[in-house]
Amino acid sequence: MIVIDERRPNEAAAAEALRMRVFGGSHLRKTSQRLREGRLPAAGLDLVAREDGALVGVVTLWNVGLGADGRPGLLLGPLAVDPELRGAGLGAQLMRVSLAKAAGRGHGAVVLVGDAPYYARFGFEAAAAGGLTLPGPFERERFLGLEIEPGWLQGAAGLVTPHGQRVMEPAQAAA
Ligand SMILES: CC(C)(COP(=O)(O)OP(=O)(O)OC[C@H]1O[C@@H](n2cnc3c(N)ncnc32)[C@H](O)[C@@H]1OP(=O)(O)O)[C@@H](O)C(=O)NCCC(=O)NCCS
């Protein structure tokens, strides 16, 4: 049985190992990474799929500011499913659970960079993110948005910026 749950602190290495297996490290070179590095995931929105204790899927959402007025939103990604379990609906389950949790926490909108034909089924579309830009190169047709709260992305324009809580350096943590 597969269970979707918040990632436990001791699963950080296993989650990154799955992302490395799926993306071969390319997730660390993407423009979206500039919004993630040095930040903690959004509260309650770093999710894993577990099968018999092993991680078979991951999805993480991050706090961002959506454009010049800094309205809050979320960046989704990476989303990764164990290659051996593809096509069985696990990716969709991770998407639906994470979006429901985001809505439950009062978030207004989600953006991501990904394949529009996959994400359209969850309501993502390029037009919704059309006024926004990312801090680095990106393909406009792969930069997608979804309003959880109707109208949240209306008039959103300018740069998406990192808003997540900063990861504490060991020196700070000890202070
Ligand atoms: C994309 C991914 C998360 C989907 O997970 P999954 O569990 O296989 O997805 P689901 O079972 O929910 O959905 C499968 C459906 O999505 C389609 N699909 C999968 N990847 C797709 C893509 N990149 N573009 C369009 N459709 C895609 C499949 O063809 C299948 O279609 P069907 O329902 O008509 O048969 C998974 O394939 C994966 O980890 N891929 C590599 C990493 C990646 O691309 N992550 C997303 C960043 S863009």
Predicted confidence (pLDDT) per residue in 1-36, tens digit: 999 999 999 999 999 999 999 999 999 999 999 999
Who wins on pLDDT, 124 or 175? 124
Locate the ligand 1 atom nearest the alpha carbon of residue 23 and give its number.
Answer: 42
Angle at 144 between CA 143 and CA 146, to 5 degrees: 155
Q: What is the mean pLDDT of residues 139-146?
A: 98
pLDDT above 90 covers a percentage of the chain that reads 95
pTM, to two decimals: 0.96
pLDDT over threshold 80, residue 164: yes
Q: What is the mean pLDDT of residues 61-86?
A: 97
Instruction: Please give the pLDDT value at position 66.
Output: 98
pLDDT over threshold 70, residue 95: yes
CB 90 less than 6 A from any atom of ligand 1: yes
CB 58 less than 6 A from any atom of ligand 1: no
pLDDT over threshold 90, residue 50: yes
Locate the ligand 1 atom nearest the alpha carbon of residue 93 and give its number.
Answer: 12
Q: Whose CA is nearest to atom 43 of ligand 1?
A: 80
Catalogue the E-assigned strands of the chain.
2-6, 46-51, 54-66, 71-81, 109-113, 132-133, 143-147, 158-162
